Amino acid sequence: MSWQATIQALILVALLVITVGPLGRYMAAVYGVRQDASAPGDRVFGPIERLIYRVCRIDSKREQRWNVYALALLAFSLVSILILYALQRLQGNLPFNPTDRAAVTPWGAWNVAVSFVTNTNWQWYSGEVAMSHLTQMIGLTVQNFVSAAAGMAVIVAIIRGIARSNTRNLGNFWVDLTRTVVRILLPLSLVFAVVLISQGVIQNVKGYTVAVSIDSTTGVADQAIPGGQVASQEAIKQLGTNGGGFFNTNSAHPFENPNGISDMLELYAILLIPFAFVVAFGKLVGDKRQARVLIAVMAALLTVFAGFAMFAEQGGNSKLAGLGVDQSISTTQSGGNMEGKELRLGAAACGLWAGATTGTSNGAVNCMHDSFTPLGGASPMLHMMLGEISPGGAGVGLMGVLQYALLAVFIAGLMVGRTPEYLGKKIQAAEMKLVTLFILAMPIAVLAFAAASILLKSAANYQPGPHGLSEVLYNYASVANNNGSAFAHQDTSTRWYTVTQGIAMLIGRFFLIIPALAVGGSLAGKPKVPATSGTFPTHTPLFAVLVAGVIMIVAGLTFFPALVLGPILEHLSL
């Protein structure tokens, strides 16, 4: 690995270490365990929130049970899907469309609407040639805010369930949603958008700027250079772990990611809130040791998968090396596998991005994953298959790792004969049934739809051999985990893929959130029991190893056969 990539990784770690703690403590103060607790910035943000409550007729003091909280989330998501679908279908007749974009097809609009509402941001289309500026601004960018905020609201409700006792209430979804957008996402996005503009990310309301060719011998006609509100969308797409992008190649496009500084800052933004939420968790439950254990698990898994992807891509293509082809990009720097990579970023930076974006629910890429080496492609694919919990999406990553923590403490209790308890709450059969539903939903969606796509000739638009299987597996692993990245070679604009991927996105979002909320509601109704000598400790390094082991075993038993037939077989055939 080059020294430049090493320095970038070290700076990224330093930025996170410095800022994750303060942001996490601020977020804990914003939410609080009590719904009516005061929060920082009340003088500035309070009037805005009260206006929203008054206009939307929200009783901010009324709390909800877990099932009512879930119904509010589902209702909000359904309305959001319908509005975004209608906006796409009508965009050709709506204003602020300087590039004259026509209506999106019915099945394509369905896929996009579900994608952005579920925080997946899967893009079967090229943003700069399919969406009007109006759709980008009040459709896609707005969903980047509220879909991230919905996931953050859910984990806050679950944390309240762990922290509270003898109650059926987890808070108010509408209040949590509003506070998240107004006090956290909007201020951070405003600052980050300005920083991105300073680095060259574009932000305007133009359609196309025509560049006139001055060299007629090249045969290149005049070039239409697209404009748009890129920096504002880029800021929230990274901070909210949304992914996607204004342009087809998203963060590989120089208008979205101009240089090495913007590359590192965008990567930092992707990881900031997921890690900060774990700090907030420790503060809200009153036990920072628990937060340290979960951060250690997340950081260790992220380091392993990002490091392996960097190593695999920096090592280059073995077949080219066997042919005596020099893969270096200069006399002093090894290029590694540079197919599908940006020269200004390099192979190692691409591997680092792949590890970070597939460990979160962020599908933004700064290179083409279809061009990865077999093992380099297997790393982000398996990383997603863990459930995107290292550190996962904004809010939902912590939600996932908490489910595995409950499973780990239950298994440990059975193995050593100690009481399965987590933060003073007994973990019993009811919680384990819900955790099982949580764990099974995503693999069923991935494997069932991938198998159907392989068997159906009408869906056979992937490459032959093990790489083709990897393409299909990666695509469904991406949508079912609400990630949004792709291997990119496979055409997913067909009706089969737009429909089935939309279903997989819904399963990956709501079939996980609802059982997790039910777990929070179940724990909220239980009394806290004091720790005894028979209580299994959940704040030790041993428990961190146990949680990581459970995560890897579950993913391995579920997906290893498919991975053997895909990327592993492709690697062995080189």
* Residue 438 banded pLDDT, cuts 50, 70, 90: very high
* Cα 228–chain centre separation: 24
- What are 121-178's pLDDT values in tens digits? 998 888 888 899 999 999 999 999 999 999 999 999 999 999 999 999 999 999 999 9
What integer pLDDT is reported at residue 491 of this predicted model? 77
Distance CA 297, CA 272 (A): 16
* Residue 224 banded pLDDT, cuts 50, 70, 90: confident
Distance CA 438, CA 441 (A): 6
* Contact present, 152 and 393 (Cβ < 8 Å): no
| 406-412 LR contacts (CB < 8 Å, sep 24+) | 406/431, 406/432, 406/435, 406/519, 407/432, 407/435, 407/439, 407/550, 408/543, 408/546, 408/547, 408/549, 408/550, 409/536, 409/538, 409/543, 410/435, 411/546, 411/550, 412/536, 412/543, 412/546
Distance CA 98, CA 247 (A): 16
- What are 451-474's pLDDT values in tens digits? 998 888 666 677 778 888 899 999
**Quick check: 180 pLDDT over 70?**
yes
* CA-closest candidate to residue 196, choices 240, 227, 230: 230
pTM for this predicted structure: 0.93
* Residue 331 banded pLDDT, cuts 50, 70, 90: very low
Of residues 487 and 31, the one with the higher pLDDT is: 31
Query: What is the b/e burial string over 65-89, where b = at least 16 CB atoms within 10 angstroms of the residue's CB?
Result: bbebbbebbeebbeebbebbbebbb
The DSSP result for 252-297, as a single string, is GSTTT--SHHHHHHHHHHHHHHHHHHHHHHHHHHT-HHHHHHHHHH
What integer pLDDT is reported at residue 332 of this predicted model? 42
The pLDDT of 537-563, averaged and rounded, is 94
Mean pLDDT (the chain, rounded):
89
What integer pLDDT is reported at residue 435 of this predicted model? 96
Percent of all residues in the chain with a pLDDT value above 70, rounded to a whole number: 93
Distance CA 237, CA 242 (A): 5
Helix (H, G, I), strand (E, B) or coil at 561: helix
Distance CA 460, CA 438 (A): 30
